[in-house]
Amino acid sequence: MCQGKPAQNVKVKLYDDDRGIDADDLMGETTTNDKGYFENIYHKCADGLKLCDRKFTIKIKDNYVTKGKKPSKLYDVGRMELEGGFSVKMSSSALSGIRILDFSRVVAAPFASMILSDLGAEVWKIERPGNGDDSRLFTPPEINGQSCYTLGLNRNKKSIAMNLAHPEAKNLARKLATKVDIMIENFKTGYMKKFGLDYSQLQQINPGLIYCSITGFGPDGPYADVPGYDVIAAAVGGLLGITGPKGAHGEPVKTGVAVTDLATGLFAHGAILAALLHRNKTGK
């Protein structure tokens, strides 16, 4: 089964390659170097060693909320005023009062919003009508007919189904975006733009919005339009090349769990917290 349909009825675009990419290939790959993912480290014991440098970047638009000027609809009584003109609701939970609009599905981005919900954030999860999140089809195991995978990754979240192709649903989604602090999505590059839900459009109606977009290969570069999945990232990143009984000298082997998905979720939640701290300190 794929996306709720028999696999033979699903059309997919395949990319030919006779092997997985190993670590040496990755180090010399133009895209990773151009994006500044690696830094040359010089040491007497390891001259010219390359280490992973940048984990994520935060871009700030000029049209931001300035100090002392905050969207009134986002805040209510019982919040603590912060230096940057923002406020948080007083509570024992670290992120209590923070609202998240979550359009993500499967593993990577839902894992990020799961951690944030564990920290007290209120997460509004948007799913497609019908099958909902793809992970609902990840069975067994299941409890009362529901995927344990979905129940685990989406605990503490409030979920509704929404068909963004419908004008009323699109307008509702944009209205919800004005009432949250953070939005998360992990669709293919450019997908949200056609619904008026990309950052450049939402930032105009919610200047203080923190927008986390997770794509296969980033929003720019030669692979920007190529969709990504855990096993693809593991292959391109060289992880499959060092997994298995023979390590880097054997055939590529898939890891037992979705390592790159989970790592992506961890980095994403860290980036969101960093952006939230920056916004609350500076108002930008």
| pLDDT tens digits, one per residue of 249-275 | 667 888 888 899 999 999 999 999 999
Domain shared by 189 and 268, yes or no: yes
Does this model's pTM top 0.75? no
Domain that includes residue 33, residue range: 21-54
pLDDT at position 221 is 82
Domain shared by 36 and 83, yes or no: no
H-type alpha helices, 147-197: 148-153, 167-177
82 domain-assigned: yes
Domain shared by 97 and 146, yes or no: yes
HSE-up (13 A, CA, CB side) for residue 263: 13
Buried b (16+ CB within 10 A) or exposed e, 39-66: eeeeeeeeeeebeeeeeeeeeeeeebbe
pLDDT at position 80 is 47
| pLDDT tens digits, one per residue of 71-130 | 333 333 334 455 555 555 545 578 989 999 999 999 999 999 999 999 999 999 999 998
How many domains does the chain divide into?
A: 2
C-alpha 40/C-alpha 63 separation (Å) is: 36
Res. 141: pLDDT tops 70: yes
> What are 74's two structure tokens?
């986002």
Average pLDDT, integer, range 145-151? 85
Q: What are phi and psi of 97, to 5 degrees?
A: 95, -15
Domain shared by 43 and 151, yes or no: no
Domain shared by 181 and 44, yes or no: no
190 domain-assigned: yes
Strand, coil or helix: 199? helix
Domain shared by 88 and 198, yes or no: yes
Average pLDDT, integer, range 172-201? 94
Q: With contact defined as beta carbons under 8 Å apart, do 137 and 147 qualify?
A: yes
Domain shared by 181 and 154, yes or no: yes
Domain shared by 37 and 112, yes or no: no
94 domain-assigned: yes
Average pLDDT, integer, range 156-161? 92
The single-letter code of the amino acid at 47 is D
Domain shared by 78 and 43, yes or no: no
Higher pLDDT, 238 or 262: 262
> What are 133's two structure tokens?
């999140």
Strand, coil or helix: 2? strand
Q: Which of 146, 108, 128 is nearest to 271 (CA)?
A: 108
pLDDT at position 281 is 87
User: What's the chain's average pLDDT?
Assistant: 77
Interior CA angle at 90 toward 89 and 92, to 5°?
Answer: 120
Strand, coil or helix: 51? strand
pLDDT at position 19 is 46
Residues paired with 158 in a beta bridge: 124
Cβ neighbours around 211 below 10 Å, total: 22
238 domain-assigned: no
227 domain-assigned: no
Cα distances from 188 to residues 198, 202, 227, 269, in angstroms, run: 12, 18, 6, 19
Domain shared by 137 and 268, yes or no: yes
Domain shared by 46 and 87, yes or no: no
> What are 19's two structure tokens?
């092997």
pLDDT at position 204 is 94
Domain shared by 98 and 196, yes or no: yes
pLDDT at position 216 is 86
27 domain-assigned: yes
| pLDDT tens digits, one per residue of 1-49 | 445 555 455 455 555 554 445 555 655 655 555 556 666 656 555 555 5
pLDDT at position 145 is 84
C-alpha 177/C-alpha 102 separation (Å) is: 10
Q: Is 47 annotated in the active site? A: no
Q: Which of 121, 56, 65 is nearest to 274 (CA)?
A: 56
105 domain-assigned: yes
| pLDDT tens digits, one per residue of 192-236 | 999 999 999 999 999 999 999 999 888 888 888 888 889 888 888
| CATH code (residue 171) | 3.40.50.10540
> What are 64's two structure tokens?
């931001």
